[in-house]
Structures are given as C-alpha cells and as structure tokens.
Amino acid sequence: MTPLALVMIIIAYLLGSISSAVLICRILRLPDPRGVGSNNPGATNVLRIGGKKAAVSVLLCDMLKGTIPVWGGYFLGIEPVILGVIAIAACLGHMYPLFFHFKGGKGVATALGAIAPIGLDLTGMIIATWLTMAVLFRYSSLAAIVTVLLAPFYTWMVKPQYTLPVAMLCCLIIFRHHQNIKRLFEGTEPKLGAKKSI
C-alpha cells in the first residue's frame, strides 16, 4: 500500500467520524439521536425525532462523507480494491466515530455516497431498490439489507472491476444491521413513519 493510499484511508475515517446527525440535531435544537428513538445517529432516526428537512440534511451530509474520500482517491489514481478500503474506512468512521465516543450509525448513506462515484446508473439502481423495498414493506432496515445484498450484483453488471470492493463494503453494512435482522425476525422492528417516544 502506498503512503498516499494510507493517508486517504486515514482521512476517510476521520471524515466519517464527523456525526452529521448529532451536529444537525444540535444546530436545530433537537434531542441527541443517540439517546432517543432507536438511539441510532442516522437519517431514519432523525426523521422520527425531527422531521423530513432534518433527515434529508443528515442523509446528504452522510453521503458526502463517503463520496469525498472515494472520489478523491479515484482521481488520484488509487486502484479499485484500495478504493474499497477507503470506502470501508469512511463507513467505519461513521459507525465508530472517533469524535463521538465511537457511538455511530449504520453506515448505509455513507456507503451509498462511497459507491456513487462508480456511476450514476449504479447509484440509480441502488436508490430505486431501497425506495421500492421501503414503500412495499415500510422497514428502513429491511430496505437497506436487501439493497446491499443486491449492490455487488448491480456493480458486476455496470463496472465488474469494482465488484469486490463493493461486496466488502456491503458485508460490513450487513454486520452492522445484526440487531435489526434480529428484530425483523421477532417482529419488533419499527416501521418507517412510526414515532418512538422521546
């Protein structure tokens, strides 16, 4: 691994460690998302406690945390597998943020942002899959799980050289959703639009 690649991996982790949900909730004077609702500092929980505008702001910022370092690495000529490691570093920063006591989100939006530089067609398929599953079943976590399971296949159809790094990233997202998977089987996972007590 080159020194440049190592620097990009560190930058990706540090950028990922900036918790958009916590900062935006502080700016809007909303409760800390780590202590209310699902206790997850991500866009879905912010939607429950602060509404659509706050959630969209978190979603966009979380995506940029993945897009910026991966796109930067791409233009610097870093090879696809290392770009995958950079994407994983950004997601690990989001999941275990250095600046927020290592209590972070699930990494779905950051992963989407990291995958986006591969191509708009791939990004479109991923977003369409998530939206379809979310509308049909009303579970954000289920939509995310199905989407990341299909993402490597989509990548193989569009740009096969990125299949391995995308698959690595998706395995991380599935692992981070183990509690959601358990709740889905138990029938206790909250649906989209359901408000939790704060």
pLDDT tens figures, 111-151? 999 999 999 999 999 999 999 999 999 999 999 999 999 99
Residue 146 CA: distances (Å) to CA of 19, 74, 108, 133, 134: 25, 27, 12, 8, 10
Say which DSSP state 76 is in.
T
CA dihedral 43, 47, 49, 53 (to 10 degrees): 100
87's tokens: 């994407």
- What confidence tens digit (pLDDT) does each residue in 143-190 have? 999 999 999 999 999 999 999 989 989 999 999 999 999 999 999 998
Write phi, then psi, for 31 (nearest 5 degrees).
Answer: -60, 155
- Per the CB < 8 A criterion, the answer to whether 60 and 42 are in contact is no
Structure tokens at 97: 């943020």
- C-alpha distances in Å from residue 28, one per residue of 32, 97, 157, 175: 11, 21, 42, 31
pLDDT band at 198 (very low <50, low <70, confident <90, very high): very low
Domain extents in the chain: 3-186
- Joined tokens for residue 6: 């190592």
Name the H helices within 77-119: 80-95, 108-115
Q: What crossing angle do the helices spanning 3-16 and 80-95 adopt, rounded to 10°?
A: 30
For residue 197, the model assigns a pLDDT of 43
Give the integer Cα–Cα distance in Å for 21 and 124: 24
Q: What percent of the chain has pLDDT over 70?
A: 97
Band of the pLDDT at 195, cuts 50, 70, 90?
A: low
In this prediction, residues 81-110 reach a mean pLDDT of 93
Would you state the pLDDT for residue 194? 63
